[in-house]
Amino acid sequence: MEKVPPGGEITITPDTVITPLAREEAERRGITFRTVASREREAAGAAPGLKEDPGESVRTVAVGADHGGFELKEELKRHLRDWGYRVLDLGTDSAAPVDYPDFAEAVANAGARGDASLGVILDSAGIGSAIAANKVPGVRAALCYDRATARNSREHNDANVLSLGAKLISAEAAREILAVWLSTQFAGGRHQRRVDKIRGIEERKGKK
């Protein structure tokens, strides 16, 4: 449980035994338990970025923001480090006006190269950065605005980049969204078939 960020989620099977001490600790840290069938958990595998013996890239989260997302980026970096992640900050480094596609592309490229396992991008609304990042082959950037969309984007879509609108959500909401997003596992199964079709679109359009 110590590897799950505050506000995150732990997937358990119906026969999982949770001790009173574990429940108390989970409540203290805002961690929730979600029960799934045993085969679903097996298909999902270990949570991204939270493997038992992770390599350096697995523990690395690339972050990037334009001027509109700069302050929130700095705050989320602190949370990521507290949760045990290595942060690859790709800018911007101030609130001076810059262009969001530059930073969204930098984060997306870091993931595509394997420099980071996951990415987080921020601008004022989060829309433009998501569009830009999704132009990079292999990237599935999702704009999330609450815990439900964060969970769905990972569980169903295997999103590997999280986009946030810094001017549309509070810092606390962003922290909760990030925590859930990091701790949610891809469900695989029928969802894998659909993700494979997304990859197929990239290949047919010559983006491979």
Provide the annotated active-site residues.
Answer: 156
Alpha helix positions (H), 30-125? 38-44, 70-82, 100-113
CA angle 141, 147, 148 (to 5 degrees): 80
- Residue by residue, DSSP assigns 152-192 as HHHHTT---EEEEETTTS-HHHHHHHHHHHHHPPP--THHH
Sole residue written with tokens 């530059």: 102
Q: Sign of dihedral through CA atoms 75, 147, 183, 105?
A: negative
Considering only the C-alpha atoms of the chain, give the largest distance between any 2 of them, rounded to a whole number of Å: 54
